[in-house]
Structure 1
Amino acid sequence: MRKNLSQMNKKLAQAAGNIQPTEDQMKQFANLANQYGGMSPEQMEKEMKKLAQGFSEKEKKDMIQKLHMLKQMSGLLDNDQRRKVDKFIELLSK
């Protein structure tokens, strides 16, 4: 797992330029991916709406930025995961 986090951290750093995520942030991404990986689209949307309600506007903007960076990393997400990220970005943008 540590090697995967290190590789993800490198890819995120390349995609984000000057933004340097911490190891803790990378662990959070990995935990979220594991936690929500097996949900149906309907379950995922319900959970995303619930999460989005608890975010401040600043937190929403920060999360949207991170999700865009995540999408830019080639080979990290499959098509289904990209669609879920897009849906979450859409919900956070409302």
Structure 2
Amino acid sequence: MTDDPDDREIYRTLAWVILKWRLDAEKTQEQVYRAADLAKNVYDRLEDNDRPFSAAQIRAIARVYGRSGKDLYAAAEDLLGVPNLPELPKSVRKWKRDRWFQP
């Protein structure tokens, strides 16, 4: 588990965004279960330290996909399958969490 409070908060917020967007936008039981599973996977990845994602990796994917709930959902799916992203440019490192994830 990461000890960095910012990383932990980003994981929690990402899972929240995924789940809320899916619950707001999708009404079928299967889609709700899928959203819950994806949110749980984000938490589990942090808790188990199984190929954990750094805050920088989450930022990079969010930057590529954009800010909408649907785009963040796609980004989260990619996060679960792409554990080793290349080094990020300095502009992405300056990214502020509040601009992307607002619960």
Please classify the TM superposition score into its range, dividing by the shorter chain length. 0.3 to 0.5
Higher helix share: 1
Q: TM-score, normalised by structure 1?
A: 0.35
Q: TM-score, normalised by structure 2?
A: 0.32
